[in-house]
Amino acid sequence: MTWGLTGGIGAGKSEVAKILRQLGVPVLDADQISRMQMQSGHAVYDSVVATFGRQILNDDKTINRATLASLVFNNPALRAKLNQLTHGAVINEINGRIALLKQAKHPLIIVEAALIFEIGLTTILHEALAGVLVVIAPKELRVQRVLARDQADPSGIKARMNAQISDEERLAKATIVIENAGTLEELRNTTVGLLTTQLAQSTNK
């Protein structure tokens, strides 16, 4: 059974993914796969550099993701073009990894993706996701977490939040909601509880 995992910046999606990995559940990180696809030697790398120019490259010829993000952040047309170049390859890689994990008889697989709803990942995968876990937290708490993690500018963090879909939109599409307004221990207890109840039940259907 394959489930999705998503949440806005600072909500705690990555912490839930980390806990699930510690509990032995394979988690496929769409962002990590995207970074891999944009390394030299991959077709996506060549397409992205050809489209956006060598201005996005570091001195060692790797793609500077911050520079690329700054180019597309306020330009919907360029952002759509970047998505067009990357999402297909990412989804194909995810599908391949899911197939291997199923062959290895893993009863539960998690696909972690910030844009799981935005790019239609729930339906593009060869086998539709059984459901989506959505991690939420109050907006100001999310800002504080990202500030502590990245030492970023608060206005920049809020701009990144506003560029994503709202929690209301995520909640409307969620199968299971994980509220993460407390401690890491509370989040772990919630995740363990889900793994032994609702997620466990879904794998036995």
pLDDT above 80 for 179: yes
What pLDDT is attached to residue 128?
75
What order of strands is seen across the sheet that includes strand 131-136? 27-29, 109-112, 2-7, 131-136, 176-179
- For 96, the enclosing helix (H) or strand (E) is helix 76-103
What pLDDT is attached to residue 205?
60
Confidence of residue 126 (pLDDT cuts 50, 70, 90): low
Q: Outline which parts of the chain fall under CATH 3.40.50.300.
A: 1-26+108-205
Whether the pTM exceeds 0.75: the reply is yes
The architecture CATH gives domain 1-26+108-205: 3-Layer(aba) Sandwich (3.40)
pLDDT above 90 for 149: no
pLDDT above 80 for 200: no
